[in-house]
Amino acid sequence: MPAKIVLVEDEQNIRDTVSYALRQEGHQVTGYADGEEAWKALERRLPDLLILDILLPRLDGLELCRRVRARSESLPLMFLTSRDEEFDRVLGLELGADDYLCKPFSVRELCARVKVLLRRGVRRESEQRLRVGALELDGPRHTARWKDQAVRLTVTEFRMLQCLARQPGVVRTREQLLAESFPHDQYMSDRTVDTHIKRLRRKLAAADPAFAGIETIYGLGYRYAAES
């Protein structure tokens, strides 16, 4: 299925080779050599898939990834990295990249990975409706239900709950919760997360006094209880 792909890579020969190969597969590819310029375009419109180099002029790939993830958690995203960027590569996956390729890579390999990511992307759209135990979250509608009772949440509260419930049993740091709940607002603090979590708990407890789904993990962050 043809997709709109944005490729941000400052090395022109890589950009040209990759663009050419993906166009041969029927995709529409827009290339950018500069992070800031790419962000201006991405801010207006997100593609179906994003391929990011890490070291870029003006705005690096990791920051681009952070900003894009604040907008969309489901957009398939792949990093292109150099071997000496091992640390960044791990960080990239923590930031929510779906895949990475080390340079030099084969274009055939890249096309194969793109195919997998696009397929997974379609599947993830439907996963935006999330059901974890007694909790039901409808991503597109931003509605939450606990034991079939509607719980009215603000958009931020909804996003935080979604971020937690998507990975039951996994600790999410305040930083991760912030990044996923506020579209790159730099003025939010860790305290803000605590305030929203407190409200979330209060609202869920109003629906069910026994609710204990959101656990505090001291010194780390919060976790959605796997068994709730």
Q: Which of 4, 10, 33, 142 is the binder for Ca ion (CB under 5 A)?
A: 10
Site string for Ca ion, 15-54 (x = CB under 5 A): --------------------------------------x-
Q: What angle do CA 39, 47, 141 make, to 5 degrees?
A: 105
Please state the closest distance from residue 53 (CB atom) to Ca ion, in A.
4
Q: Are 8 and 35 in contact (CB under 8 A)?
A: yes
Locate all alpha helices (DSSP H) within the chain, ordered by sequence. Answer: 12-24, 35-44, 61-71, 86-94, 107-127, 155-165, 174-181, 190-207
194 scored as a contact of Ca ion (CB under 5 A): no
* 55 contributes a contact to Ca ion by CB under 5 A: yes
Closest CA to 140 of 149, 129, 148: 129
In the complex, what is the shortest distance from the CB of residue 92 to Ca ion, in angstroms, rounded to a whole number? Answer: 14
Nearer to Ca ion, 82 or 173 (CB): 82
Cis bond upstream, residue 2 (ω within 30): no
Q: CB nearer to Ca ion: give 3 or 8.
A: 8
User: Which residues contact Ca ion (rule: CB under 5 A)?
Assistant: 10, 53, 55
